[in-house]
Amino acid sequence: MDIYLVEAIINGILLGGVLALLALGLNLIFGVMDVVWICYADIVMCGMYAIYFLYVQYGVPLPLTFVIAIVGVSGLGVLVHLLIIAPVLDSPPLNQLLATGGLLFFLQSFATLMFGTDFRNIGVRLPVLEIAGMYVSFARLIAFAVGLIGAVALYFFLKRTYVGTAIRAIAQDREIVALMGIDQRRVYIVVSAIGGALAGLAACLLALQYDVHPFIGNTFGPVIFIICVLGGLGNMIGGFIAAFVISQIIAIGGYYGSTELSYVFAFTFFIILMLIRPRGLFAP
Amino acid sequence: MLSLATVSAGYGSFQALFGVSLEVSRGEAVGVIGPNGAGKTTLMRVISGILPMRQGAMTLEGHSIGGMPAHRVVEQGIAHVPENRRLFPRLSVEENLRVGAFIPSARARFSERLDWVYDLFPRLKDRRNQLAGTMSGGEQQMCAIARALMSKPKVLLMDEPSAGLAPLVVAQVFELVRKIRAEGLTVLIVEQNVQQVLEVVDRAYLLEVGAIKLSGTATELKGNSFIRESYMGL
């Protein structure tokens, strides 16, 4: 097999790690609250700006910057929930969509106003590994590993702890959990904080690979969204697998065509699949 | 132990309960019978706090629980087995029970409670890793009761435990109610199956159009000509 194709496939798998992390966050929030955070990728953008300014402008050490970003974006997730989602929790889905969609435009415009449209890079150059003549970015390798660790940690949290089990229960029956002594509003806040933390973690991983600008959310926001729909909205494992399917299409599409064309391939695949399996890849 | 005084409640502009008063003593099993739409389920929802009470007073062991949100009522010692069981279908039996032990006092003694519940319902132990939604109706009812018992309640509210079950299974469910009573629990049970429920309770109230029409001991009600004619078809 062509060595460049193998390289593309490996890079596709590595790209899937970060996408999977974001798909998990979006799915977790949707599964529990039945609300899609259309602005999820733009929350990641906020995290990337925080990393850029803390590290480049204020000279905060990178590891500390990452911790602050994760905690900060987690807090931002809670704020988004309390200020924007909570008031429309019982409203029709369209209103919820408009609310989170409105936040998307707000965040993009706010970032443009504050920071301009410059592309900014934190300037950390991680080495590129050469394995058997193939080039693999170390930043991507880290992103993949951390993404996977995050996914596994989330799995054990949901599977093994009382709060995690309560989160899965509330996704299945919102009203009745109160009879077991669970305060739904508190679970929503916990879930929003976790969703925010995952976005913050993704911001750290992406800041190592990409420039940040006000519209970076547009480049991967729609991709995360189609991943979630493909895996079945709210289906965590489905979304996790779909992330790797889509990242592979993007990587191989990029090899045969171009980067721009690869997204065309991914969305075409998505549209065709929606016609055949409207409820996602893994719907029964 | 549990006491309601002239409690009223409803949904929007629709009033479902009109000044309901009732009393359940410690260790007693009390039934609430009545036709469809009489407000039996509403009564249960008001006691457990899912539906806020509009007027009246509710106390548990002398402490007011009126207006308390549902998640706090559980901590006071009232567990509610909801109508139609409402298990978490895609959680395993044991995970359902773990959710039932969510309150801090129950978490602390989780394994002890689990052993107790498994002793009471050995069938659940065999099915501990099965998804709750894949069990039979009777087993699901068993699991719903067990889930409520995990919080170590003082009072157990049961809403139509026999609904939607085959006649043979219904008899088994009432056998479970006897078992729970034998453990010394106080039980308030809502049922349409009048004949069977009067066999397991000490006293009962008849609820019609949101108000208490009649009350008495099980023996009295079994002999009451109105109950016999309207609810037992005798």
ipTM of the prediction: 0.91
Q: What average pLDDT does range A17-22 have in this prediction? A: 93
Nearest-Cα distance to chain B for A162, in Å, is 6
Contact (CB<8Å) A178/B99: no
**What residues have CB less than 8 Å from B85, skipping those under 6 apart?**
B140, B141, B143, B144
Q: Is A94 on the interface with B (CB under 8 A)?
A: no
Element of type H or E holding A201: helix A184-207
Q: Which of A161, A176, A183 to mutate to test the interface with B (most CBs of B within 10 A)?
A: A176
**How confident is the model at residue A282, as a pLDDT?**
84
Rounded CA-CA distance A200/A221 in Å is: 14
The whole-angstrom separation of Cα B213 and Cα A116 is 73
Q: Which of A165, A168, A181 sits opposite B71 (nearest CB)?
A: A181
* Interface residue A218 vs chain B (CB under 8 A): no
> Which residue of A lies nearest to B72 if distances are taken between CA atoms?
A181
State whether residue A182 sits within 8 Å of chain B by CB.
yes
Residue A165: list chain B partners with CB under 8 A.
91, 95, 98-99
Considering only alpha carbons, which residue of chain B is nearest residue A181?
B71
Contact A60, A126 (CB under 8 A): no
Cα torsion B111, B112, B118, B121: sign: negative
CA distance A82 to chain B (A): 20
B101 contacts in A (CB within 8 Å)? Answer: 162
Mean pLDDT of the region A263-281: 90
Return the beta strands (E) in B66-119 as ranges.
78-81
Tell me the Cα Rg of chain B: 17
What's the confidence (pLDDT) of residue B2?
95
What local confidence, expressed as pLDDT, does residue A123 receive?
Answer: 87
CA distances in angstroms from B135 to A88, B87, B115, listed in the order given: 36, 11, 21
pLDDT of B164 reads 85
Going residue by residue through chain B (234 aa), what tens digit of pLDDT does each one get?
Answer: 999 999 999 998 999 999 999 999 999 999 999 988 899 999 999 999 999 999 999 999 999 999 899 999 999 999 999 999 999 999 999 999 999 999 999 999 999 999 999 999 999 999 999 999 999 998 999 999 999 999 999 999 999 998 888 888 888 889 888 888 888 899 999 998 898 899 999 999 999 999 999 999 999 998 888 888 888 877
Candidates A242, A250, A240, A237; CA nearest to A274 is: A242
Q: Which residue of A has its CA nearest to B101?
A: A180
Under an 8 A CB cutoff, do B99 and A166 touch? yes
Question: Mutate which of A163, A165, A180 to disrupt the B interface (most B C-beta within 10 Å)?
Answer: A180
Mean pLDDT, range A69-77, rounded to an integer: 98
Q: Say if CB B193 and CB B186 are below 8 A apart.
A: no
For residues B221-231, one letter each, b for 16 or more C-beta atoms within 10 angstroms of the residue's C-beta and e for the rest, the string is bbebeebeeeb
